[in-house]
Amino acid sequence: MNAHEPRQTRSAQREATREKARQLREARARKDRSKSVALKLTAIIGGLVVVGLVAWGVINAQQTSGNAKAEPTNMSFDSGIKIGSALQAFTNTNTPKPNPSAGAAGVPNIIMYVDYQCPVCGAFETANSEQIRQWVKSGLATVEIHPISFLDGQSPNAYSSRAANAAICVATYSPDQYFEFNSQLFANQPAEQTIGPDNAALIQRAKDAGVSNADKISSCINGNTYHNWVTKTTSKVLDPKYVVAGTKVTVGGTPTIVVNGQQYPLTNQSLTSAAMFAQWVQQVTKG
């Protein structure tokens, strides 16, 4: 303080201290909210296998709810669900027809391994969800979604596994709404280390997605019916010996995105660029 400036009163000093503390709190909160995707990529992609295995060790010792013998239907593509034209699911009774204009190279099948708590998955989804929706809806592509769960430690209420269970409930009882429900989950993804949506919110998301058999889905979500199936499937997928069907690609973490046997390379730029992903899909599916 300049020697010629008037000395503050004790009240003014206290007020200035409070104001400074408030500014510091707000600055810290802004910094936390504005963590860049690049930093998340560094933290998550740089240690996918380590994070996956450590988190898996924690979750494996946690929840034991669910029906140990429950097996979902429509998760028949190596524990994934496949969505085709008009966003219809491939089931035992339905095979969506591709668009005839797809060409000689055929229709690309976009295989995705996701964890609904994964922020990098959320970033990819934000950039690419709409164009994937249009490709699949028009029959120009199919998408195969494999929900796994190893990030329960990133939320106080085990959101990762509960969201995966909810998605599988939808796959079982209302498969044609799976794509929309998948989009709803990512659009409302909770931040890491925060309380994720409760079961009531997950049930409402399912209803917002226009599901049929809403009562069965609600009971399935509340009962965490497929928790054990999710646990078993996640363990299988994260095993270093596991490879994506028909490829040599291993799944060290999420998202793992594969088309025509090739894994999409995740970088700060490619993660959030719909144009780069579209160009890559075109390149790997050329006849």
- Report the pLDDT value the prediction gives residue 70, as an integer from 0 to 100: 84
Work out the widest C-alpha separation in the chain, in whole angstroms.
87
Q: Compute the radius of gyration of the chain from its Cα atoms.
A: 22
- Report the pLDDT value the prediction gives residue 74, as an integer from 0 to 100: 97
Is 70-284 CATH 3.40.30.10? yes
- Using alpha carbons, select from 168, 281, 279, 267 the residue that is nearest to residue 216: 168
Query: 285 CB contacts (<8 Å, ≥6 apart)?
Result: 105, 106, 108, 259, 260
Query: 91 CB contacts (<8 Å, ≥6 apart)?
Result: 73, 74, 175
Compute the residue count for the chain.
287
- Report the pLDDT value the prediction gives residue 100, as an integer from 0 to 100: 73
- Report the pLDDT value the prediction gives residue 286, as an integer from 0 to 100: 84
Domain ranges for the chain: 70-284
- Report the pLDDT value the prediction gives residue 62, as an integer from 0 to 100: 41
- Report the pLDDT value the prediction gives residue 127, as an integer from 0 to 100: 96
Residue type, 100: P
Residue ranges, the chain, pLDDT below 50: 1-5, 29-37, 47-64
